[in-house]
Amino acid sequence: MKQFYQIHELAKLFDLCPDTLRYYEEKGLLHPVRGENRYRMYGIQDVCTLNIIRSLRELGIPTRSIRAYLERRSVGETLTLLDREEELLRRRMAELEAALKEAQNRRSRLEQYRNAAAGRVELVQEAERPYVFLEKDIILEKEIDFLLKKLEQRHQDYLKVIGSQCMGAAVDEDSLSRGVYNHFSRVFFFTEPGLPYDDVLPAGEYVRLYYRGSYDRLEEHYRALLAGAEAAGRRPAGPPLELYRVDAHDTNLEEEYVTELQMRVEPAQAGS
């Protein structure tokens, strides 16, 4: 039986590069001896120690904590470490459960909206919807994705561009009154109940339609929305909203994009 192993033998055994073993030595985790030729030589205790290091590093425990544990190692210290391991694993399991739920919700969104009937104007009742937003004087269509990412960064603890939460943009009403349809005033994410928010879309009656494809036909879709509202005896009571139900984060095929154009309305005055 060999008493010592060279660095390349130990690296191969643990599927590591030699530089990793040198790093563990630099951090005081491994203590190889030097042979006559000054090569690093690792004993069986180093094999045991490296098993421990690998196990703890897989849990994300920092090297300084591993070194402290190795220096004080006893059954009592190991039991204390296991308490920490169990807490880390419970936290990781909770994160995985949350990620699974997010994936399931995203699947539900795509399955729901990929078959949405396009071009049909509908009156719907919406509950109050809290949201976070980023506002500018004028937001051009090509800026929307950048600003949504910037907004996500501000609220990264609970927002994801690629996720199940609805994101959108509000058409700028001043520009709209001048016949300009590609200017927006704010981008936003709806938030889940109990999470922080900046503002609330009021509950009430909204008119909506879904459209497919690129965003350069907003004028056509907005006019259809207005005509549908007028036919139902309603008038606008807020800016048009674009809600991105299926977008470039979900597909490369522009014809598969699904956008919900939505606007709060109120009964038109008699004779108006």
Check residue 119 and give left, alpha or beta (phi > 0: left; psi -120 to 50: alpha). Answer: left
- Going from N- to C-terminal start, the domains of the chain cover 5-73, 122-267
C-beta neighbour count of 58 within 10 angstroms: 8
Of 7, 9, 28, residue with least CA distance to 19? 7
pLDDT at 270: 53
Farthest-apart Cα atoms in the chain, separation: 104
Asked if 129 and 200 touch (Cβ cutoff 8 Å), the reply is yes
Tokens of 79: 């039991």
Q: What is the pLDDT along the chain (272 residues), one digit of tens a residue?
A: 568 889 999 999 999 999 999 999 999 999 999 877 888 999 899 999 999 999 999 888 999 999 999 999 999 999 998 999 999 999 999 999 988 998 999 999 999 999 899 999 999 999 999 999 999 989 998 999 999 999 999 998 888 887 778 999 999 999 999 999 999 999 999 998 889 999 999 999 999 999 999 998 899 999 999 999 999 999 999 999 999 999 999 999 999 999 999 999 999 875 45
Question: CB within 8 A of 255, min separation 6: which ones?
Answer: 212, 213
Tokens of 230: 């007028």
pLDDT at 165: 84
pLDDT at 1: 57
Superfamily of the domain at 122-267: Regulatory factor, effector binding domain (3.20.80.10)
Report which secondary-structure segment, H or E, holds 241.
Answer: strand 241-246
Measured between alpha carbons, how far is 171 from 133 in angstroms, rounded to an integer? 13
What fold is seen in the domain 5-73? Multidrug-efflux Transporter Regulator; Chain: A; Domain 2 (1.10.1660)
